[in-house]
Amino acid sequence: MLSKSQARLFFLIATVGFSGVFLWLTIDSVRQVAARSNAENLTEEVVRGKEIWEHNNCMGCHTLLGEGAYYAPELTKVVERRGKEWMRVFLKDPQAMYPGRRKMVQYNFTDEEIEDVISFFEWIGEIDTNGFPREPDMAPAQVTTVAAASGPKPPAMFSTICAACHSYAGSGGNVGPALDGVGDRYDRPTLRKWLADPAGVKPGTAMPNLNLTDAQLDELTDFLMASSATSGR
Contact footprint for ligand HEC (CB under 6 A) = 52-53, 56, 58, 60-62, 71-73, 75, 78, 81-82, 87, 90, 94, 97-98, 102-105, 107, 117, 161-162, 164-166, 175-177, 179, 182, 185, 191, 194-195, 202, 205-208, 210, 220
As measured in angstroms, the least distance from the Cβ of 46 to ligand HEC is 13
Asked if 201 and 190 touch (Cβ cutoff 8 Å), the reply is yes
User: By C-beta, is 82 or 231 nearer to ligand HEC?
Assistant: 82
Rounded Cα distance, 42 and 177, in Å: 41
As measured in angstroms, the least distance from the Cβ of 58 to ligand HEC is 3
With vertex at residue 139, the alpha carbon angle to CA 135 and CA 152, rounded to the nearest 5 degrees, is: 95
As measured in angstroms, the least distance from the Cβ of 25 to ligand HEC is 33
Length of the chain, in residues: 233
As measured in angstroms, the least distance from the Cβ of 166 to ligand HEC is 5
3-state SS class at 165:
coil
E strand residue ranges, the chain: 63-64, 67-68, 167-168, 171-172
Closest CA to 42 of 102, 124, 118: 124
User: By C-beta, is 25 or 47 nearer to ligand HEC?
Assistant: 47
User: By C-beta, is 61 or 127 nearer to ligand HEC?
Assistant: 61
Asked if 154 and 148 touch (Cβ cutoff 8 Å), the reply is yes
User: By C-beta, is 38 or 59 nearer to ligand HEC?
Assistant: 59
Asked if 132 and 66 touch (Cβ cutoff 8 Å), the reply is yes
As measured in angstroms, the least distance from the Cβ of 169 to ligand HEC is 14
As measured in angstroms, the least distance from the Cβ of 149 to ligand HEC is 18
For 52, list phi and psi in degrees, rounded to 5: -65, -45
As measured in angstroms, the least distance from the Cβ of 148 to ligand HEC is 14
Distances (CA, A) of 8 to 12, 21, 223: 6, 20, 78
Rounded Cα distance, 114 and 103, in Å: 18
User: By C-beta, is 128 or 184 nearer to ligand HEC?
Assistant: 184
User: By C-beta, is 34 or 215 nearer to ligand HEC?
Assistant: 215
User: By C-beta, is 131 or 204 nearer to ligand HEC?
Assistant: 204
